[in-house]
Structures are given as C-alpha cells and as structure tokens.
Chain A
Amino acid sequence: MFYREAGDFKTSYVDDNQTFPIKFDRYRYYFVLFFAFLIVPVVINDYWVNAVFMPFLIYSIAAIGLNILVGYCGQVSLGTGGFMAVGAYACYKLMTSFPEVSIFFHVLLAGGVTALVGVAFGLPSLRIKGFYLAVATLAAQFFLVWLFNKVPWFYNHSASGQISAPERTVFGIAVTGPHTSAWATYLFCLVFVTICALLARNLTRGMQGRKWMAIRDMDIAAEIIGVDPLKSKLSAFAVSSFFIGVSGALFFSVYLGAVEVGEAFGINKSFLILFMVIIGGLGSIFGSFAGAAFLVLLPVLLKNVLVGMLGWPTDLAAHLEFMIVGAMIIIFLIAEPHGLAQLWRVAKEKLRLWPFPH
C-alpha cells in the first residue's frame, strides 16, 4: 500500500544508480535526516545522549568500517579494538600537539593515521585467509594495546597512563572536555556518521565495492578479470581502518573524555563490533546501523523495562540482561543468519507486493 515500486519508472541509468532507487525509501531517508538533525538536538538530554545516541552513532561508524572489511571484502578482522585505539591516540596526540587546529580535522587525520596502520597490519591478508587471518589481526589487537601502554610518548608521560581530552570547540561551542552540552556532542558525532555512511555507500556501490565483493566471493575469478588482489585487499583495510579510526577518535574525545587503553579498546571491543556487523548483516551499510542499534539499545531497553517498570533490583537485572541479550543474539542468528539487514530486505519485498501474494 505505502511501499510501492509501481509507477516509479527510471528513465536513465543515473536514476537507476541512486542510493535509494525507490521513492518511498528516499522520502524515508530524508525524513530520518531531518529528524536526526533538526528535531532530536532540540529535545535531547544528557541521559539520552550518553546512554543511547552517542554509543549508537560512534559504534555505527566502527561497524560500517568493519563491515567494509569483513562484509564486503571478506577479510575477517579481530583487530578493531586496536585500530580504534590508534584513532584515539592519534587524535589525542594531534589535539595536544596542534591545539590551534580544529578538532574536526584532528578526527579526520586520526582516521588517516589509522588507515596507514591498518594497511600495515593488512599485509598478511595477501598470504593468509579466513580464520588464520583473524588470528593474525588478533596480533594487531594485542600489539597495539601493549604499545600504547608501554610507550609513555603516546600518553604524553601522564602519571596515570590515561589520555584525557582537552576542551576543544567547533564554531565556539565545546564538543570535548568537561563543559559540553548534550546537543553539541550529538550533532558533532552525527555529522561524522552522515559523512562516513555516505562515503561508504558510494564506495560500495561503485567499482571499488564490486572489486571488494569480487575478492570476497571468488578471489581467483576476481584476479582473472583484472582485480589486483594486493590493491583491493589493502584498500579495504585502509578504508575500513579509516572509519574505525574516526570512531575511535570520537569514542575517546567526545564520548568518554578520558580512556585507559586496555579497558576501552580491549579485545572485547573487537568482538562487540564484529557481533554488530554479523547481527546487523554482512555486506550492508544499513546492517551496520541495525547491528549497532541492536547491541546498544537492547541492554538500555532491558534495563529500563526490568528496573524502571518491573522494579527489579539492579544487580539481578544486570545479570538477566546478559542472558537475554545472549539468547536474543542466538535466536536472531538462527532465524536469519544473514542478519537484520536481510530481515529488512525480506520485509520490504513482502511490502512491495502487499496485499497480493505474488
């Protein structure tokens, strides 16, 4: 009824190549953008930003990054936490070394630095595949965390070994440090999420995305039609690490404000992002958002229901929360191994025909 392709004719290849070829999708997308940029900042408060929006937005960027590597290019990585740490520390060093430059560029540059590190750790992917590559990237995870703990230069010789973000402003409004307002940090992250999602979408729908997917689906055939495996694998590592670095930089500077590397960017983080990508759907930008939303929102929702509405003790609720989230992950993966994105696709296909069966 509402979701129709009929009558929505495309008369040029440009029309057919759009990000959202169906009109309804396009309007929904504009509506979400409008809502996120203009409505949410007005009504938002500290609790919502810190518990829901900020982690969701920042993990979304990381999930998009990892999805490019795992979902699009088929290279399994368990080094996400380490690469986020690179982004965070690069951002910290840049913020303290060049205080006069806008933090916006620091975050982007931190992504660039992470891209370089990602390429270096992506080199083994040319020789090893699958689980073995996952183990190789695990080395990156442990090495990077160890490095940032071990070398005082990275944390500017601070006594605690932590890094903490100094106050930085964008257009005179504080986005990092202790005196930030909820809407400012939210908008700052939202801008990065929007940019990253657009870039990722453009890369994955064009020839670069096809090269990555060709390598993922059948690397021999990809090579025979002219894909340079070295270049496309390393470019996947670079782009993926760039996004992950940006998310790490935001995670540290805007969200947490101060981090200790082993705690914030440990192996848990790598798994968390990987789960987001798997639950959300491999090879889908929307899936990255869905996965991040699922793993960020579900615990918050459960907590609110169990503690807020049912009045259970917090410790009991906390334990139950783990069990329920775990069970739901399993249920979801059995019901739809291709993730939330696939569920969404199936639902859309059904809606297109509804109320007719065929």
Chain B
Amino acid sequence: MSNEEGYVTADGRKIGGTLMEMKNITLRFGGVKAITDISFDIKEGEIRAIIGPNGAGKSSMLNVISGFYVPQEGEVWFKGAKRPPMKPYQVAQQGIARTFQNIALFEGMSVLDNVMTGRLNHMNAGMFQQAIWKGKAEREEVENREVVEKVIDFLEIQSIRKTPVARLPYGLKKRVELARALAAEPMLLLLDEPMAGMNVEEKEDMSRFILDVNDEFGTTIALIEHDMGVVMDLSDRVVVMDYGKKIGDGTPDEVRNNQDVIDAYLGVAHD
C-alpha cells in the first residue's frame, strides 16, 4: 500500500501523494526507548490512525510530529522536504494543528476567543497596529471572524459562542478544541484520542465531524484512538505500535488479520 503515488480508497476517495514521512524515528528519554526505528508515511487527504496498547509510544509519536520532542535519530519529511528541528510554534506555522488527549483549551477565554486564537497564523497586524485598532487590525479581525464563524457553524457550537470555556461540559470542550484546530485551516490535523471519555452518541457526533472535515476541507488527519470500532470505520490506513516498535501498517482489514497485531492486543501464550 505504501507506494509513492496516491491510491483510491474502498469508498472511492482519491488519496494524493505523500504529505508527511517519518523515516527511522528513534526517540529516547535517557535510557528508555520510547520509539524505536519507526517509519511510516501520511498521504494527502487520508485519515491515518495510529493505534497500539497503552505505553506503545503513540502520543510520543504525535509529539514528534508536532515538534514537542526532537527524535535522537531519524528524519521527519513534510511536503517533500526534510524538516529541521523546530519549535512547536514553527510547526504550527507550517500548517500542522492538533488537539490533546487531555483537553488543552484556554479556560479563561470565551469559546469565540479560543477558536479565534486558532487563526493567529493568518493574522499579521503588528502590535502598534493592534493598539490603534482602526485599519488593518480591525479588518483582519473581521475577516478572520468570518472564517471562525464558518467553523463554528460547521461544528454546531453557535449557541455557546460567547460562553467562557470553563463552564462547558466535557463533550463540548472536545468539540471546541477541534474547532480551534480547524480554525487554523491546517494541512495536517493531529487528533490525540478525540473520543476519549465520550459516550456512544458523542462518539458518533465526533466521528461524523472527523469524516466531514476530511471530506469538505480535504484535511489530512492523523489520529490516535483506542476505540477499535471507530478506528476501523474511520481510517483509511492504520499504523500499529507496540513497545515503541511498529508491528503493523496497512488498511484496517490488513491490520485486523495481522498475527503480530492480534498477539499484541490479545497477548500470546508463552510455552
């Protein structure tokens, strides 16, 4: 499946060429190897899942992609160019947005302000212009508000627009966090357990949003998720990790029938 060119998914969507490629990534914390020699790619327009048992290194992998961790070995290629070691905010400027396993919203701000923050890479009025307000700052503020309102519409959170985030229930917070990431209009969207702690209905909503985002905006999505049903339904290709190593890679069906993966999840008899 990992041919350089794109492919066509089972449901008939065209997937483009490679957007991001991880080449032989190794990440160590002191003596502990979190990730060992992992390579995989993410193609334009696909939904790519990373799964694995607890402690497999999935979140570490996401943190490598978003620039929190710099791997000791290996290369990260983005849009056909090798990416030098970067700070997280520089990665964001390149067009990669993410959500967190534990919600990382700005609790003291309203929903609108939270989502507007996602637009910051699209606004470049200087501090003096903002202090004067009239002119460029106000114009940018309005233009970007329009984009943000589209995202708010899309995720159906109009009614809580002006509510302080701290007052929202968990499920809505997750949605606002997705809205903030989407507002950045990223090329690559990283979702760290978007359904964690949700009930079936909320999971269905979130799945629908993820599929819609991919479908309407053509956003490439990489997600970590523990709910196998969701993963198998949503994703085009799956990477399976265990103890920091890659043990499987392919379509959901291929992965499901992979003996290593079955062993990792169900355990294997030692005799």
- A14 / chain B contacts, CB cutoff of 8 Å: 138, 142
**A13 pairs with B141, CB closer than 8 A:** yes
Please, what's the 1-or-0 string for A205-249, where 1 marks a CB less than 8 Å from any CB in chain B? Answer: 011101101101110111111111100000100010000000000
- A206-B133, A214-B106 known; 19 new pairs, CB 8 Å cut-off, are A13-B145, A14-B142, A202-B132, A202-B133, A202-B137, A203-B131, A210-B116, A210-B117, A214-B109, A214-B117, A217-B109, A223-B89, A223-B92, A224-B88, A225-B97, A226-B89, A226-B184, A229-B89, A283-B108
Name B94-113 residues within 8 Å CB distance of A: 97-98, 100, 104-109, 113
Name A177-217 residues within 8 Å CB distance of B: 199, 202-203, 206-208, 210-211, 213-214, 216-217
**B180 pairs with A213, CB closer than 8 A:** no
B121 CB within 8 Å of chain A: yes
B1 → A minimal CB distance (Å)? 30
**B108 pairs with A17, CB closer than 8 A:** no
Q: Considering residues A208, A214, A220, A225, which has the most beta carbons from chain B within 10 angstroms of its beta carbon? A: A225
The CA-CA distance from A216 to B66 in the complex, in Å, is 21
Which residues of A are at the interface with B, using a C-beta cutoff of 8 A?
12-14, 16-17, 199, 202-203, 206-208, 210-211, 213-214, 216-218, 220-229, 235, 239, 283
Q: With A14-B138, A229-B89, A283-B108 known to touch, is A211 a contact of B131 (CB < 8 Å)?
A: no
**B89 pairs with A203, CB closer than 8 A:** no
B130 CB within 8 Å of chain A: yes
A71 → B minimal CB distance (Å)? 10
The CA-CA distance from A283 to B140 in the complex, in Å, is 23
Which residue from chain A places its CB closest to the CB of B131 in the assembled complex? Answer: A199
A345 → B minimal CB distance (Å)? 11
B93 → A minimal CB distance (Å)? 6
Main secondary structure of the interface of B (DSSP, over half): helix
- B184 / chain A contacts, CB cutoff of 8 Å: 225-226
The CA-CA distance from A213 to B116 in the complex, in Å, is 12
- B92 / chain A contacts, CB cutoff of 8 Å: 223-226
B118 CB within 8 Å of chain A: yes
**B130 pairs with A202, CB closer than 8 A:** yes
**A235 pairs with B142, CB closer than 8 A:** no
**A221 pairs with B104, CB closer than 8 A:** yes
- B116 / chain A contacts, CB cutoff of 8 Å: 207, 210
**A218 pairs with B104, CB closer than 8 A:** yes
**A217 pairs with B107, CB closer than 8 A:** yes
Which residue from chain B places its CB closest to the CB of A227 in the assembled complex? Answer: B89
Q: Which of A12, A17, A199, A213 contacts B109 (CB 8 A)?
A: A213
The CA-CA distance from A227 to B121 in the complex, in Å, is 9
The CA-CA distance from A14 to B134 in the complex, in Å, is 11
Which residue from chain B places its CB closest to the CB of A195 in the assembled complex? Answer: B131
Q: List 7 A-B contacts (CB under 8 A).
A: A14-B138, A207-B116, A220-B104, A221-B105, A224-B98, A224-B100, A226-B120
Q: With A17-B145, A210-B117 known to touch, is A228 a contact of B133 (CB < 8 Å)?
A: no
A279 → B minimal CB distance (Å)? 18
A199 → B minimal CB distance (Å)? 5
B13 → A minimal CB distance (Å)? 28
**A207 pairs with B108, CB closer than 8 A:** no
- A239 / chain B contacts, CB cutoff of 8 Å: 127
Which residue from chain B places its CB closest to the CB of A226 in the assembled complex? Answer: B92
**B120 pairs with A207, CB closer than 8 A:** yes
B253 CB within 8 Å of chain A: no
